[in-house]
Amino acid sequence: MFTYPPVPSSIIEEIRSRSVAVVIGHVGPDGDCIHSQIAMQKLLQRLGLEVHLVNAGPFSRKEIKKYEPLFAPHVDPQLLARNPLVVLVDCSTLDRIGYLGDEIKGLTVLMIDHHASGSQFGDLSYIVSKSFSTTLCIMQLYKAFDVEMTNEIADHIFFGLATDTGFLKFIGPYRGETFHLMGELVELGVSPNDIFNRMEGGNSFASQQFLARLLLRTQPLLDGKLMLVIEEPEDLAEFNTDQRPSDSLYAHLLGVDDVEVVLYCKIVDTDVWELGFRASHSSSVDVGKISAAFGGGGHRKAAGATVRGNLKELQQQVISRIQEDITS
């Protein structure tokens, strides 16, 4: 059975030597990212540090929207002058934090992540590629520092795991350690059914109409093995919503017979696109590697990249790469 590696002593010593820290997550944060940032903040505060949360956003997912006021969009220059420890969570490449990468130059960086793809960076790292979420990696830091987890912390850690596994749908065999950890969290008062309702409920009617539009616009390619979805610039304005129905879209399309990969192109700005990749469990395609080829990162079955350029040209390049992996 898989066991988490011990947290390096160098990380423990570095954190104990600090008085102030900044915790940063990736752009377009998801549940694992935001809850990892908050859980890490709470840990560092318990250890006596002054901790600031920073994320470039946008906070477009409904399940994390309420947390947006906790996060600053920039690292304050006065804070930078105090030489804070920078903790990057859920990031496989530096560009995943957007413009914040320029703001933290010259500072000591600690990476905590579970993504297998991407290029390692930073001065210190605790990367567990077999972990199903970054929050579970942070749970190991609580254990390493012997800091008791409260119900609130347990809820953050479980929520990150739940969102990154599609509420456990992506967990395969021989991974009993994850369920043991989940058991610890439930014993601390976490309610799995409450978390499921927070993940799946609260959808606006407009977001469901948006989902319907995207499904109708979906293009089956490569003999139906690839599903391509392109968001139009006017979609968000038309449906008057910032709730992108990404998870529901992926789930619907991966449920279609013979589908191996879903590619969702989301508009960010003029000629700037966020590419979302998902692969079916039966597919041998590693979308994490494909995403890395375009400057992104992620897992074998779920990954993303932010790219700049003409969409048609980008589309051809990405589809060609996916085709190579599907036919190999």
Range from 31-35, 197-201, 216-220 carrying the lowest mean pLDDT? 197-201
> What does the pLDDT average to over 284-306?
88
Same domain, 63 and 172: yes
Percentage of the chain exceeding pLDDT 70: 98
Same domain, 176 and 217: no
Question: For the chain, what is the mean pLDDT?
Answer: 93
CATH assignment at residue 256: 3.10.310.30
Domain boundary among 198, 232, 255: 198
pLDDT in tens, 285-295: 999 899 989 98
- pLDDT given at position 118: 60
Residue 297 has pLDDT above 90, yes or no: no
> What does the pLDDT average to over 226-244?
85
86 assigned to some structural domain: yes
How far apart, in Å, are the Cα atoms of 34 and each of 40, 70, 134, 210? 10, 10, 10, 24
Residue 253 has pLDDT above 70, yes or no: yes
Same domain, 270 and 179: no
Same domain, 191 and 249: no
pTM (two decimals)? 0.85
> What does the pLDDT average to over 224-228?
98
- pLDDT given at position 111: 96
CATH assignment at residue 90: 3.90.1640.10
Same domain, 171 and 260: no
Domain that holds residue 310: 205-327
Query: Please, which pLDDT band fits residue 37 given cuts at 50, 70 and 90?
Result: very high
Mark 65-99 as b/e (b = at least 16 C-beta within 10 Å): eebeeebeeebeeebbeeebbbbbbbbbbbbbbbe
pLDDT in tens, 115-162: 876 666 789 999 999 999 999 999 999 999 999 999 999 999 999 999
